[in-house]
Structure 1
Amino acid sequence: MSDQPFALLIAGPTASGKSALALGLAEHFGGTVINADSMQVYAGLRVLTAQPSAAEMACLPHRLYGVRDPAEAASVAWWREQALAEMEAARAAGRLPILCGGTGLYFRSLTEGLTEIPPIPPEAREEARGLLAAEGPAALHARLAAADPASAARLRPSDSQRLARAWEVWRGTGRGMDFWHKEGGTGPARLGERPWRFAAIRLDPPRDALRDAIRLRWAAMLRAGAEAEVRALLARGLDPALPAMRAHGVPELGAVQRGAIGLEEAGRRACLAIGQYTKRQATWYRHHALAAPSLTHTIHARIAGLEQFSESEGAEIFSFVRSGVDGSETDD
């Protein structure tokens, strides 16, 4: 058995069933489920971001769900620090850390490390937010392409948060994000002197199964109080550029509350946006390895719970996780 600390990663697109799989495996292996989704960190958005229910969280330890005020943007660096602390706490308690979510950059920050960037002056950050608010993301992307084409090429013109970050880094350091990425950074996650070992389960269900799941989830969210969550969030008058204000369903239900569209149209728009997002997630996971091929198990189905698997399929999943827990997996 390896004396290196081990953690399991469960990744995949929105509505693929990651949480159900994580819950089942945590019950079987004595795990602590640690959130690795950039929207589920925010408080007050339990329904809209599909955070675990109160009953599920009472069943076994869940960490980093609903812990961040929506007024404060959560960075990858912040999440990595919090996740490492929770992983070490789980390890000390004799539990298996199971990191579950859909944010690929969060997983990558653990397995590959983070780029270290010098502190950004407040005026550079304010300029980036001001340009984004005044001109919109497409115009900011055009500005970035002229000033820092290498960094701009890595970003979508609609990715407002990362565009603002890239602009503030260029303005604040005189170097672009592409430069700092090439400089290196923190390196893979470690526990003391020992690097963590990771194995990953990646969910990659068929598109039609995801589309159906997204529609069903949206209807369930409305029944569970999604409109009230959005009403409370909008009442705070937060900056619309904040990540929580752009969570799926917030813009659409906000438009309903302003009387701009009806609830049916909001659902159509939200489900379309979520579906497009899941395509980008799936593409990202296909092009970025979370672990070595021999340490990644891919499931081409949507998960409703471990009970849906046949005896042989369940045994295969348990064997895969057990090999990681025991340190018997091999890297091809």
Structure 2
Amino acid sequence: MAFRPSRSRLRRALLTALVVASVAMPVSGAVRPAGVPAPAPTIPDALPAATPTALAERYAATRADIAAAARMADAHGDGKRAGALRVMADPARHLLSFDGRHGGRTVEVVGSLSRADRIAVLVPGAGMSIDNYWRLKGGAQALWRELGDRAAVVVWLGYETPAAVSLAVATSRRADGAAPELGKFLDELRRVKPTARTSLLCHSYGSVVCARAAAGLRVADIVLYGSPGVGAEDVAGLHSSAAVWAGRGGDDWIADVPHVSLQLPDTDVGFGEDPVSEGFGARVFDAGPGGHSDYLKPGSVSLKNLARIVDGRIPDAPRA
């Protein structure tokens, strides 16, 4: 009689493949920066009023924190980190918060938050830190140009992302820690911009963070793109009143990640159902032919459709 593996053994084999794929795939920013000391932030977590004067004061205070971190990085002998921080401290930049410790966390506004009636909050995935933040900033600028000057794009690098080449990227542990911080930030953003239409745009592992934070969030849209799964079997499992969208580029390697999950005593491995599958129940949009790092690429199909969602318009459906 032919040997037939048990369902449990098959699930474990698939999860092993998921971890191997996560380690083997060529992801931008895969190398984690070494720990670089930085001072604690001096500004409060609460956001200021969304007026030009209050925001200008906040941006100036954040620049001072970044400059202090740059000096400490220089003293530590890390010229790369210091250089990245000096770029971030440019007076033309609008950073709401900054913490250079543990790889770095920051929240930046592209556009005018005081004028914005539509806000896109970008939540990045694995491998993102202060040292390669410019990649994320470039995508945010491209999205803002697509949306126009009555919108703002908020880049929320508010958690210590897992390394792209690590076992942590296949578990929800980092997302579990990040979700309350994301929820708190979105509550603050709603307090200062109560009438703005806010959309949450979640890339790759960032979609796991968004899913963990989703219950009770008062946002118009939750957009999952380049997602490995979110730990819920369907949209109902997110417990959100937001419109849930999903998209995946035609050349995105994330399509090859097995969509299974395994509950362990202190965490879970794998993220379950594919968000672009019919069974998940999201509204699927056309993300074009791009790869895992191409969703915010200028001129791309995915960028245009993400902008349409933020605008409250219907994006293009995937081609048959």
The interval holding the TM-score normalised by the smaller chain is under 0.3
Return the structure number with greater strand share.
Answer: 2
Return the structure number with greater helix share.
Answer: 1
What is the TM-score with the length of structure 2 in the denominator?
0.28
Higher-RCO chain (CA-CA 8 Å, sequence separation at least 6) = 1
What is the TM-score with the length of structure 1 in the denominator?
0.27
